[in-house]
Amino acid sequence: MAEDSLTLTRLREKFAASILETHSFRGDDTAIIQPEAIVPVASCLKNDPDLDYNFLMDLTAVDCLNLGTAHRFEVVYHFFSLSKKHRVRIKTQLGGKSPQVDSIASLWAGADWYEREVWDMFGVKFRGHPNLKRILMYEEFEGYPLRKDYPIRKRQPLIGPGSPGQPSSK
């Protein structure tokens, strides 16, 4: 079975206590891990010569507010190895009160802007990030627009109707 892929086997050997669940659907390996373990797991994926995940393809988040889960957010990492041609998806689950997870920007420089985007859109904090500030929205923007409880009609213009000091036209 694909469940026996090298990556998942290696992760289960090394991080048995931190892995909540793994699955492998049609060759797509996924491991759900505890948030505290993200840096050691990511570092193992990068530095283990058999795994050699040298490319962070994507880092994003999911707001599970309406999905009936115990956790509020999932932070999802996609890694790819250019030499081994294999990929893995790592998920962590975070609570809604003050979601935070350790930054992996020290391992992959590309994580810097991804983590800033997730902070900007979802308000997930990345501990140890070198420069965690909004990347897409303006500093005056309040709230996190991709959270499911962000009001869909809420507008925060900087100038014109509805901006600070000006009444809305509608």
Partner 1 sequence: MFSQGFFTSQIEKAIGWARKYSLFQYPFVTACCGMEYMATASSHYDIDRFGAGFPRFSPRQADVLFVVGTINHKMAPVLKTIYDQMCEPKWVVAFGVCTCTGGFYDNYATVQGIDTIIPVDIYIPGCPPRPETVLDGLMKLQERIQHSRQEF
* 3-state SS, residue 11: helix
CB of 35 to partner 1, least distance (A): 28
CB of 124 to partner 1, least distance (A): 18
Q: Does 161 bind partner 1 (CB under 8 A)?
A: yes
Are 105 and 130 a contacting pair, CB within 8 Å?
yes
Q: Which two tokens stand for residue 157?
A: 């213009």
Show contacts with partner 1 in window 129-148 (CB under 8 A). 136-138, 145
Amino acid at 3: E
Closest CA to 131 of 149, 111, 147: 111
Q: Of the two residues 25 and 138, which places its CB atom closer to partner 1 in the complex?
A: 138
Q: Which two tokens stand for residue 60?
A: 């994003």
Q: Of the two residues 78 and 147, which places its CB atom closer to partner 1 in the complex?
A: 147
Q: Which residues bind partner 1 (CB under 8 A)?
A: 136-138, 145, 150, 154-161, 169
